[in-house]
């Protein structure tokens, strides 16, 4: 199960990245657990709950290009799947790029806790640290 779970998580992460690039909150929502928590990278804001995160993404996506905020990409470095519970830890690097120029505007590291719920892997928690 470990290899299959890791592939599933990496696939879901890629779908999340595509949804951000496409500015598609309908695609983001099902990847988030109902009670998920995100701790942002710069100001350490806590965004609790799927609907709260979707609301934040909608606000981000409401700004039309070229003034639109950065496009964020999370790149997994490792995914460790628990052998005793349906959970996993993903760690990696994230990067924000200017939607008009493609220039890197911010970057750092992240950790995400995933849980398998009814056959689907969802994000329960994410912590971001801004390093650049």
Q: Is 52 helix (H, G, I), strand (E, B) or coil?
A: helix
124 vs 131: CA distance, rounded Å = 23
- Look at residue 128 and tell me whether its pLDDT is greater than 90: yes
Q: Which residue has the tokens 């650049």?
A: 132
Quote the tokens at residue 45: 């804001």
User: How big is the chain, counted in residues?
Assistant: 132
Mean pLDDT (whole number) for 37-45:
90
Torsion sign, CA atoms 51, 94, 123, 25: positive
Instruction: Among 38-47, 67-76, 123-132, name the most confident range.
Output: 123-132
Model pTM greater than 0.85? yes
120 vs 16: CA distance, rounded Å = 14
Q: Which domains does the chain have, with CATH numbers?
A: 2-130 (3.10.450.50)
Q: Is 84 helix (H, G, I), strand (E, B) or coil?
A: coil
């Amino acid at each position: 199960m470990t290899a299959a779970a890791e592939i599933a998580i990496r696939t879901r992460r890629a779908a999340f990245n595509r949804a951000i690039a496409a500015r598609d909150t309908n695609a983001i929502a099902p990847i988030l657990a109902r009670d998920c928590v995100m701790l942002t990278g710069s100001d350490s804001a806590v965004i609790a709950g799927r609907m709260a995160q979707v609301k934040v993404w909608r606000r981000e996506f409401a700004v039309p290009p070229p003034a639109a905020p950065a496009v964020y990409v999370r790149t997994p470095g490792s995914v460790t799947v628990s052998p005793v519970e349906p959970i996993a830890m993903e760690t990696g690097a994230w990067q924000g790029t200017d939607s008009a120029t493609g220039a890197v505007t911010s970057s750092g590291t992240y950790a995400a806790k995933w849980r398998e719920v009814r056959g689907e892997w969802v994000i329960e928690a994410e912590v971001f640290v801004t390093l650049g």
